[in-house]
C-alpha cells in the first residue's frame, strides 16, 4: 500500500531525534514546502506535537496518546502480517466489524480497535463487559494463508501467549493463563480471547480467522454487574500509568504475534504451559452435562488439557468439549 504524505512525514519524525527543516522534507518527498507545512499543521491538529525550532526546523515533541492507526501502522509496516489498522470509539463488536470487512473482495489482514463495545461477545454465548474507562477491544482479521492453516488450532493459545509476553514487562507480577483463552492477573480475569473462523459457504473452505481480544486495562466495573463480573479485574486498577501507551502496546503485540506464529508449535506450547494456571491442582469441570473433578496435569502436543481423574485415569480435553469455571481459579491464585 502506498503511504500518504502524512504517514511519510510522521515516520520520518518518529525515527529522528534532531529537528528536520521544511526544505529538507520538501526535497525528500518531492512536494512544496507549503505542502509540508500544511501536513505538519494537520498532524498537530490531530494530537501530535511538532514544534518549529528557531533556525533548525521541526521537531516531534510528543506523539498522540489516544489510539492512533497511523502510529501503529508505521510501527508494524515491516511485520509480515502488515495489517491495515482501523479505529472507532464505539462499535457493537470488533469481531463483527472484522467479519463484515472480510466480506469485501480482496480484503487484507486488518486490525479493528475500539474503545468501547455495546455487544462485546465472549465464548459460550457469554457477553463481555466492554465499557471500562480504559478497556481495549481489538480483533485481528487474518487471511487464511498457509501459515494460518498450519497454526489454526493454536491461534487462541498464540494470542494468549502473545498478550502475556507483551504485557508482563509492564507488570509487577506475572500474568497467568487459564486454559484456553483467559488471562488472569492477581487472581482476577483481565482479558479474554474469542477466535472465530469464516468459511466460504459454497466451497466450505476457510477464508479468514478473527482473533478478538478484550483487555481490561483500568477502570471500575458498574455495581449492577458485580455478580457476573466478580471475577473480573483490571491490570492497572483505577487509572492507566502515564508511561503506558496503547499504540505502543498494540504495535508490540502485533510484532510478538508475528513472531509466535512462525515458531515451532512445540515451543509455543512449552511457553504456554509454563504460564498455565492451576497445574498440579484439583479442578472441577463440566464435560457435556456431567461434572468431573481431577488434577490438572498440563497440556498435550495438541494443546489439549490433560487431567488425571480421581480413578487415576488420564483424559485429554479439547477446548470445545469442556468448560472450566473461573471461580476456582480465583481461589487458586490467591
Q: Could you tell me the smallest distance in angstroms from the CB atom of residue 119 to ligand BTN?
A: 7
CB 94 within 8 A of CB 112: yes
**Per rule CB under 6 A, is residue 294 in the interface with ligand BTN?**
no
Residue 18 preceded by cis peptide, ω within 30: no
Chain position whose Cβ is nearest to ligand BTN:
192
**Per rule CB under 6 A, is residue 128 in the interface with ligand BTN?**
yes
Q: Could you tell me the smallest distance in angstroms from the CB atom of residue 44 to ligand BTN?
A: 32
Q: What cell does 37 get?
A: 507545512
What is the rounded distance in angstroms from the CA atom of residue 276 to the CA atom of residue 298?
A: 8
Q: Which of 120, 278, 294, 303 binds ligand BTN (CB under 6 A)?
A: 120
What is the rounded distance in angstroms from the CA atom of residue 83 to the CA atom of residue 5?
A: 19
Site for ligand BTN in 137-156 (CB under 6 A): 137, 139
What is the rounded distance in angstroms from the CA atom of residue 208 to the CA atom of residue 109?
A: 9
**Kind and range of the H or E element at 43?**
helix 33-45
Q: Which of 73, 93, 195, 216 binds ligand BTN (CB under 6 A)?
A: 93
Closest CB to ligand BTN among residues 10, 324: 324
Q: Which of 39, 95, 208, 319 binds ligand BTN (CB under 6 A)?
A: 95
**Per rule CB under 6 A, is residue 122 in the interface with ligand BTN?**
yes
**Per rule CB under 6 A, is residue 111 in the interface with ligand BTN?**
no
Q: Which of 25, 40, 158, 213 binds ligand BTN (CB under 6 A)?
A: 213
Residues in the chain: 334
Binding stretches for ligand BTN (CB under 6 A):
93-95, 117, 120-123, 126, 128, 137, 139, 181-182, 192-194, 212-214
Amino acid at each position: 500500500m502506498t503511504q500518504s504524505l502524512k504517514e511519510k512525514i510522521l515516520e520520518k519524525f518518529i525515527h529522528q531525534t534532531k529537528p528536520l527543516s521544511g526544505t529538507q522534507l520538501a526535497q525528500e518527498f518531492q512536494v512544496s514546502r507549503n505542502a509540508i507545512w500544511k501536513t505538519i499543521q494537520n498532524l498537530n491538529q490531530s494530537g501530535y506535537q511538532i514544534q518549529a525550532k528557531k533556525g533548525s526546523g521541526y521537531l516531534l515533541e510528543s506523539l498522540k496518546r489516544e489510539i492512533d492507526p497511523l502510529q501503529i501502522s508505521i510501527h508494524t509496516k515491516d511485520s509480515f502480517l502488515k495489517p491495515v489498522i482501523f479505529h472507532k470509539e464505539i462499535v457493537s463488536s470488533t469481531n463483527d466489524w472484522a467479519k463484515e470487512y472480510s466480506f469485501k473482495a480482496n480484503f487484507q489482514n486488518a486490525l479493528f480497535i475500539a474503545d468501547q463495545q455495546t455487544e462485546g461477545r465472549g465464548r459460550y454465548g457469554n457477553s463481555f463487559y466492554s465499557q471500562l474507562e480504559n478497556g481495549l477491544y481489538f480483533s485481528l482479521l487474518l487471511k487464511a494463508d498457509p501459515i494460518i492453516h498450519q497454526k489454526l488450532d493454536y491461534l487462541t493459545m498464540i494470542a494468549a501467549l502473545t498478550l502475556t509476553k507483551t504485557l508482563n514487562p509492564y507488570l509487577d507480577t506475572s500474568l497467568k493463563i487459564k486454559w484456553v483463552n483467559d488471562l488472569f492477573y492477581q487472581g482476577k480475569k483481565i482479558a479474554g480471547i474469542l477466535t472465530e473462523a469464516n468459511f466460504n459457504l459454497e466451497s466450505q473452505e476457510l477464508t479468514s480467522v478473527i482473533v478478538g481480544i478484550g483487555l481490561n486495562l483500568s477502570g471500575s466495573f458498574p455495581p449492577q454487574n458485580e455478580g457476573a463480573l466478580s471475577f473480573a479485574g483490571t491490570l492497572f486498577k483505577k487509572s492507566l500509568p502515564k508511561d503506558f501507551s496503547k499504540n505502543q502496546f498494540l504495535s508490540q503485540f502485533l510484532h510478538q504475534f508475528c513472531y509466535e506464529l512462525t515458531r515451532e508449535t512445540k515451543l509455543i506450547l512449552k511457553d504456554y504451559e509454563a504460564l498455565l494456571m492451576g497445574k498440579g491442582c484439583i479442578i472441577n469441570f463440566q464435560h457435556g452435562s456431567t461434572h468431573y473433578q481431577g488434577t490438572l496435569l498440563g497440556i498435550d502436543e495438541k494443546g489439549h488439557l490433560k487431567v488425571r481423574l480421581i480413578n487415576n485415569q488420564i483424559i485429554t480435553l479439547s477446548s470445545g468439549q469442556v468448560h472450566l469455571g473461573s471461580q476456582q481459579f480465583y481461589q487458586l491464585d490467591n
